[in-house]
Amino acid sequence: MSGAVFPLLGLSRHRMGTDGVGITTLAAAAGCPLHCHWCINRDLLSKAKAENVTPEEFLERVRIDDLYFRATGGGITFGGGEPLLQADFIKEFREICPEEWKITVETSLFVPRNYLAQVIDAVDFFVVDCKDMNEDIYRKYTGEDSSVMEENLQFLLQRKEAESILVRVPLIPGYNTEEDQKKSAEKLREMGVKRLDLFEYRPL
């Protein structure tokens, strides 16, 4: 064991049809490298507010829903923050959790490549929040360079079934238009993305 821990902000049980197949438990991770303008989690993302749990401790907490996961083809969804920053934890958790459980990761893919490569076999479904495929819009909205996300998505598409990757394309008030959203979708289809979710951010 590597001593990996997950900075757990909270657990949400018995989720259905919101983040992953079947019934899922969502585990939110602290920490995110992006600075999205409309981030609703900004105040929550501080690692100071998280509880560090080992894979074994985490398994004990989520095991209570084992029967639901098995009966519905569900499992654990790691969200955030940016859960791929906890790649070593996710990989270790996969090794000790029941084989039948499905692991989903909700990610911006704005992480160093080796984090993604580390979990590629451990994760069943990826839900990718791409923000926008236009580099200027992406930078304006997140404060970062879109090429990291784009190259990681290409890497993912070359290694996983297209059916296991859902890319979410938001309409972001004040940052992009429906036309931009359509252009992003078009570019993603050209890259080989088969599952797209076009939706609108509704800032609180």
Taking CB under 6 A as the binding criterion, the range among 18-26, 76-84, 161-169, 192-200 that sits at the site for ligand SF4 is 76-84
Asked whether position 21 contacts ligand SF4 by CB under 6 A, the answer is no
Pick the closer one to ligand SF4 by CB: 25 or 142: 142
Closest approach of ligand SF4 to the CB of residue 122, in Å: 21
Choose among 64, 56, 54: nearest CA to 5.
54
Alpha helices in 97-177 (DSSP H): 113-119, 135-142, 147-159
Pick the closer one to ligand SF4 by CB: 26 or 97: 26
Which listed residue (7, 20, 55, 81) binds ligand SF4 by CB under 6 A?
Answer: 81
Q: What are phi and psi of 109, to 5 degrees?
A: 65, 15
Site for ligand SF4 in 90-149 (CB under 6 A): 108
Q: Look at residue 23 and give its three-state secondary structure.
A: strand
Which listed residue (4, 34, 117, 191) binds ligand SF4 by CB under 6 A?
Answer: 34
Choose among 62, 52, 54: nearest CA to 7.
52
The CA distance from 190 to 178, in Å, is: 18
Taking CB under 6 A as the binding criterion, the range among 15-23, 28-36, 85-93, 181-189 that sits at the site for ligand SF4 is 28-36
Closest approach of ligand SF4 to the CB of residue 95, in Å: 27
Which listed residue (4, 15, 21, 41) binds ligand SF4 by CB under 6 A?
Answer: 41
Closest approach of ligand SF4 to the CB of residue 175, in Å: 12
Asked whether position 59 contacts ligand SF4 by CB under 6 A, the answer is no
Which listed residue (20, 55, 75, 80) binds ligand SF4 by CB under 6 A?
Answer: 80
Strand arrangement, sheet containing 75-79: 51-53, 6-16, 23-29, 75-79, 102-107, 125-129, 165-171, 195-200
Which listed residue (4, 11, 39, 148) binds ligand SF4 by CB under 6 A?
Answer: 39
Which structure tokens are listed for 172? Answer: 């972001």
The CA distance from 91 to 177, in Å, is: 38
Report whether 9 contacts 49 (CB < 8 A): yes
- C-alpha torsion 47→130→170→79, nearest 10: -30
Asked whether position 86 contacts ligand SF4 by CB under 6 A, the answer is no
* Contact footprint for ligand SF4 (CB under 6 A): 32, 34-36, 39, 41, 80-82, 108
